[in-house]
Amino acid sequence: MEVSQKTFISMHKNLVSLQEVARFKSWLYTIAVNYCREESQEKESKTLLFVTRPKPGEGEESYRWEESHHRHENPERQLRHSELSDLLQVCLMELSHEQREVVIMKEYEGLKFREIAEALNISENTVKSRMYYGLDGLKKILEQKKITKETIGYEL
């Protein structure tokens, strides 16, 4: 069963235990994060058994840097979006697990720092700090790979 299916089943079962409706979003993310971590650990143990690591971009942790609305763009722009998506995905995979989950929840899910803190059960300052070092890490990774907006020919 997929993580999203497990999350929604768990949500349905436990919805009555949710005391503050305003905290629904972070509560739901807590469930999702827990299932993601569980699956990640299972994959990690299988990886160790077979001594083959998934390529960046494969598996549950991969995060497609592409929005569905790009389908309506012209093919060249669509290709650039796709390339940029793959490139950033590779860079994201070089961040630590802690930094990556915060960057994704902030940049792609659009959660507030408070909501991320609640979902991950850590302090808001820790979330902000991980975000800061995550963005700094991404900047350094891009510099190491000599990736600039000029080299990818894409206006950031």
- Percent helix, strand, coil in the chain (nearest 5)? 70, 0, 30
Query: SS3 of 112, please?
Result: coil
94: its two tokens: 């070089």
- In this chain, which stretch among 3-11, 50-58, 75-83, 128-136 interacts with another protein, using CB under 8 A? 128-136
Question: Does 25 participate in binding another protein (rule CB under 8 A)?
Answer: no
Query: Which single residue is written with the structure tokens 């919805």?
Result: 15
64: its two tokens: 């497609």
Residue 8 or 133: the one with the smaller Cβ distance to another protein is 133
Tell which positions 65-124 bind another protein, by CB under 8 A: 106, 112-114, 124
- In the complex, the smallest distance separating the C-beta of residue 74 from another protein, rounded to whole angstroms, is 31
- In this chain, which stretch among 15-23, 49-57, 82-90, 131-139 interacts with another protein, using CB under 8 A? 131-139
Residue 91 or 105: the one with the smaller Cβ distance to another protein is 105
- Longest Cα pair distance anywhere in the chain, in angstroms? 52
Which listed residue (6, 25, 34, 133) binds another protein by CB under 8 A?
133
Query: SS3 of 53, please?
Result: coil
Number of residues in contact with another protein under rule CB under 8 A: 11
Residue 32 or 117: the one with the smaller Cβ distance to another protein is 117
**DSSP state for residue 55 in the 8-state scheme:** P
- Indicate the burial class of 27 (C-beta count within 10 angstroms; 0-12, 13-18, 19 or more): buried
Q: Which residues bind another protein (CB under 8 A)?
A: 106, 112-114, 124-125, 128-129, 131-133
